[in-house]
Amino acid sequence: MKETIIEKVKQAGIVGAGGAGFPTHVKVNATVDTVLVNGASCEPLLMSDPYLLEQEIDTVIKGLKTVLDATGATEGIICLKGKHAKAMASVARAVEAETDPRIKMFELQDFYPAGDEHVLVNEVMGRTVPEAGLPLNVGAVVSNVESLYNIALAMADKPVTHRYLTVTGEIRNPMVVKVPVGALVSEVLDFAGGSLIENFRVVDGGPMMGRVLDTTDQPVTKTTSGLIVLPETHNVVAGKILDPKTIRRITTTVCCQCSQCTDLCPRNLLGHDLHPHKLMRLYATDMVPADARKEALLCSECGICEKFACPMGISPREVNAQIKRELAAEGIRWQASGKIPENNPFLTTRHIPTKRLMQRLDVTQYDTHPTFCQTEFLPSHVKLLLGQHIGAPAMPVVAVGDCVTAGNLVAEIPENALGARIHASITGVVTGVTKDAVTIKHQ
């Protein structure tokens, strides 16, 4: 059974829907005792996971049972915040009616980043993931809500063709909408009524960890969880588009070494050897030993240091990201010690309440909890990126002029490589094939 599940998940092209897009067939090929369903939806404003837990809980549970069967886990725990009352009620009813004793639920506190894998494992299971480790190291697999939904569909031989996402911010009709993978952001925004302001930028993802798009002509991917339309001068946008060299210069001259970034760092609170305030001093000298920089590899880039902790308005998160890129280019990795970190005694008292975070971000006015749009969205064409996941880009198996039906395979995993398959998300004609993408025009 395990091999069949893994193969079906692989054939369906499922990747982690809530993070970097790690191929799911690799994740479920493990042996653990617990599977956690990450329904925290801890990034402010994003509502697609609560929607799925409310309206598609039976399908999500089918996906959860599939992962339990594959991993041999004896517990499958659906984790979500009580503030999502409708989703909580739906999950509670489903768990109560469930005859499978493995299925349980856990109510999370409303803090950020409750959905971080390391934080979630600690909150729910009381286990601490080692530095630079994975939940697998402590007997757990963490799976996003939409990933489990897709796994249930995969068991019926239905590949990933669509993505549920939240469209919010300065948009005429905020909504949760089901979008074909590869649809252009510009068409999605038009479908939602268009922007309410003239000069705007779009954040792909949440306000904390999302990225600001250079253009709205970019496509939705399997990992796009939200599109947030904000004024181009908004503080969420400003910190994300600042020139990296400018960030580095400001950091070395402005940082006052107050250590608040370290005090509130979720990974430091778990006991990991990460001290952002110390890393802020690294660029003040031309001679920085590699060992001193390695701590940056432990950073999850959650953004608390940048958007909440720092009183000087600088970005430890971005500096850490720059250091990580430098270390990667040099082939330097974190060498695990094997020891289990000891949680900081202030762990539970330094949680960041989501409401306070939204106030600091100046996004409270957008917290409208939009509902699902029942009208089908069908774009004029889709641009399916071949590298929308961790690992090697998929290899096209179609040519310009080919007619494809939604669900048809258009790009395969390279032989002996980590990757994910790509499928047509609409029915139409292939109008472009490059090393980066396959374009299909609706017909």
Over range 237-243, report the average pLDDT.
83
Q: What is the pLDDT of residue 443?
A: 83
- Written out in words, the top-level CATH class of the domain with range 2-154 is alpha beta
pLDDT at res. 68: 98
pLDDT tens digits for range 404-440:
999 999 999 999 999 999 999 999 999 999 999 999 9
Q: Is the pLDDT of residue 288 over 90?
A: no
**Banded pLDDT at 241 (limits 50, 70, 90):** confident
* pLDDT, mean of residues 151-156: 98
Q: What is the pLDDT of residues 64-106, one digit of tens each?
A: 999 999 999 999 999 999 999 999 999 999 999 999 999 999 9
Mean pLDDT for the stretch of residues 154-165: 97
Q: Are 302 and 210 in contact (CB under 8 A)?
A: no
Quick: pLDDT tens for 2-54. 999 999 999 999 999 877 899 999 999 999 999 999 999 989 999 999 999 99
Among the residue ranges 28-32, 122-126, 249-253, 388-392, the one predicted with the least confidence is 249-253
The CB density around residue 24, as the number of other CB atoms within 10 Å, is 29
Segment 176-222, tens digit of pLDDT: 999 999 999 999 999 999 999 999 999 999 999 999 999 999 999 99
Give this prediction's pTM: 0.94
- Give the pLDDT of residue 284: 67
pLDDT at 289: 62
In this prediction, residue 285 carries a pLDDT of 60
The Cα–Cα gap between 250 and 78 comes to 43
Of residues 333 and 309, more confidence is placed in: 309
Map out the domains of the chain as residue ranges.
2-154, 241-361, 380-443
Give phi and psi for 386, each to the nearest 5.
-85, -10
Q: How much of the chain exceeds pLDDT 70, in percent?
A: 98
Work out the average pLDDT over 158-182: 98
The average confidence (pLDDT) of the chain is 94
Percentage, residues of the chain above pLDDT 90 = 82
The pLDDT-based confidence of 286 (bands split at 50, 70, 90) is low
- Indicate the CATH number for domain 380-443: 2.40.50
Which one, of 354, 321, 310, lies nearest residue 83 by Cα?
Answer: 354
Q: What's the pLDDT band for 291 if we cut at 50, 70, 90? A: confident
- Per-residue confidence band for 334, with pLDDT thresholds at 50, 70 and 90: confident
